[in-house]
Structure 1
């Protein structure tokens, strides 16, 4: 009976993709000033070490600001370059639509490649339930 249970668990893990699969990671950015630059560097370093990782960056609250057209970090450098480089490596950037509504922001103010999710918090939860590791820089 124990062998059957172990076999069932291993099969379930294989089917769900949890065991022996690529890393799946969600980075949570809620503050542009204190998290965005460090988060982008962490994502870059992550991909430099594991180029096959599947990475999603979910931005909520003031964390969406770095994905706006013309956004600059505290040193005056554009976020566009690092974001574009990571997009080219397969990273997805998702903006919380609740934040847009609460802050009266329009989609047109964001980079073209930004994606949108109805709720950033719900998205973070669902990704974790799908086996994504959670990182908040």
Structure 2
């Protein structure tokens, strides 16, 4: 009987230690030129990072913007540029990805180079990036 209890305690102890320190991966999708949606996406990043860190877990977040949502990263006009800069400094777990296809279309339409905020990295295709992240096990969030 004692050996069964001891074995159960060891199994529970091992299970508990594996549950602690988990790494969560989250892809957040922004495809609307709406400051409210952009801010909600950034709130999601802050809230889930705070929650998981309080649990002792790690979280990796990639916010992907394409289509009208790429305006979130346009340096001259982004309504959330200051927040992006501050969050990027405070959260090394956070990556911003902007769609190269959308950027090319914007530049062709305006006939000039569109500068993105320095925190944004250009990926070839925003939608493909979201698919790739989901195939790699990232949870998908669309505010």
**Which TM-score applies when normalising by structure 1?**
0.74
Q: Which runs of 5+ in 1 are unaligned?
A: 1-19, 74-78
The offset of 1:70, in angstroms, is: 3.8
Query: Runs of at least 4 residues of structure 1 off by over 2 A?
Result: 70-73, 105-108
Cα distance in 2 for residues equivalent to 1:48 and 1:107:
36
Equivalence for 2:41 = 39
Q: How big is each residue's C-alpha offset from its partner over 1:57-80, in whole Å with a ceiling of 9 and x where there is no partner?
A: 00000101111114353xxxxx12
Cα distance, 1:131–1:101 mapped onto 2, change above 3 Å: same
Counterpart Cα distance in 2 of 1:49 and 1:69: 30
Larger Rg, first or second structure (1 or 2) = 2
RMSD (CA atoms): 1.9
More helix by share: 2
Equivalence map 1:25-36=2 (5 Å): 25-33=26-34, 34-36=36-38
Name the structure 1 match of 2:69. 63
Say whether residues 1:101 and 2:107 are aligned partners.
Answer: no
Which of 110, 113, 119 is 1:113 aligned to?
Answer: 119
Deviations 1:95-127 (A, max 9, x none): 000001122276651111210100111110010
| Superposed CA offset, 1:28-52 (max 9, x none) | 0001305211111111111111232
Number of positions where the alignment pairs a residue of Structure 1 with one of Structure 2? 113
Deviates more, 1:24-33 or 1:106-115: 106-115
Aligned to 1:15: none
> Hey, what's the Cα distance between the residues in 2 that align with 1:72 and 1:108?
12
| C-alpha distance in structure 2 between counterparts of 1:49 and 1:133, whole Å | 15
How far apart, in 2, do the equivalents of 1:37 and 1:94 lie? 16
